[in-house]
Amino acid sequence: MQGEIHRRFARLRDLLDQQLAEGRHLGVAVCIYQDGEPVVDAWGGEAERGRPWERDTRATVFSTTKGVTATCLHLLVERGKIALDDPVVRHWPTFARKGDGTSKERVTVRHVLSHQGGIPVCPEGVTRFEQTLDWDFMVHEMEGLLPEWEPGTVNGYHAINYGWLVGELIRRVSGQRVGAFLREEVAEPLGLEGVDIGLPEALHAKVAPLEAPPPGHRPTEGPNEDLRDPTSIAARTILRPEGDLVDFMNTPAARSAEYPASGGIATARGLARLYACLAAGGTLDGVRMLSPATLAQATALQVPEGRRDIVLGVPLRWALGFHKGGEYSATGPNPNSFGHAGYGGALAFADPDAKLSFAIVLNRMQNELQGGFRVLLTVKAVYDSLADATA
């Protein structure tokens, strides 16, 4: 690993060096802030074969993007432009249509952020990834969906739809597309290096192409048995549209498109700095992003402890756009931690009790939605290092 790793995190350096040597990563970058200051800012391996990972290399971070998008919406809550318990139709009148005794008129902003809105499935008319490049088309498809359950009664991960649902609310309330709002209202004020939803063409050369997951493993062969039933909500959410997602996300068109659920392109440094602000109560280096009250609302647990997410097949401690920490969480062992993992291994979170933020980005994919074992080991190394320092 190159860059800076404070001596108290020697465990993390040793682990990352070992993972690189064993081929667990092609390239990887990790950044940690503690007490508002960077204590780890390191990278290693290759962006692609024959090209080393450099300080400013960026990576597609998949659903780690959701926490970034949520922060943008909470900023609009902070400004009084939208409220968590507003019906979505208050801001997006064409969102709802009635049918089958269930109405989207009862879906609230809170439901959408906490994956309780009932509309996670890929629309029937969306059969190719290329269709998702058209924002207006996808918004229209969101309008046509009917809830799979009574909003607010079940949580089921809105893996891709979250992006158009939350992103369109941001657009309608602020008048800006989510990428511009992120850049002007969050990234520039906080001085974030390399966090984009919709990457400018001039920066494409900085991106590490994704390397496909190893052969021999498919989502339908994993522990979530619901994925083996093509009619299940889980299968209609996770396994559609059909095609090679990794190949698609490596295309210039996908990198430039706005995917607020799953298409952010970022450095670990930029993500860790964003979460450092949130870990510090919403203010960093004199820049206030969110008030403590807004942040407390955003990170409050929204679902009963232990309730199974019907898309992911496991319990998740959903807050509003974030999942919270705990014994089996990618976002750290502290129940008060919050952040988001991404398909393939990307992860970013804040631990307000430890006054710490953590981010990892990488390019060798694994078939994991919640970080995966190699990433969970890096989180463990961080907390073991903290324990060593206080022993």
114 is catalytic: no
* Active-site option among 63, 114, 329, 385: 63
Please tell me the number of Cα atoms within 13 Å of 166 on its side-chain side. 38
Strands 2-5 and 37-48: antiparallel
The answer to whether 318 touches 66, Cβ cutoff 8 Å, is: no
For the chain, give the secondary structure using H, E and C: CEEEECHHHHHHHHHHHHHHHCCCCCEEEEEEEECCEEEEEEEEEEEECCEECCCCCEEECHHHHHHHHHHHHHHHHHCCCCCCCCEHHHHCHHHCCEECCEEHHHCEHHHHHCCCCCCCCCCCCCCCHHHHHCHHHHHHHHHHCCCCCCCCCCCCCCCCHHHHHHHHHHHHHHCCCHHHHHHHHHHHHHCCCCEECCCCHHHHHHECCCECCCCCCCHHHCCCHHHHCCCCHHHHHHCCCCCCHHHHHCCHHHHHCCCCCCCCEECHHHHHHHHHHHHCCCEECCEECCCHHHHHHHCCCCCCCCCECCCCCCECCECCCCEECCCCCCCCCCCCCEEEECCCCCEEEEECCCCEEEEEEECECCCCCCCCHHHHHHHHHHHHHHHHHHC
Q: Which residues are catalytic?
A: 63
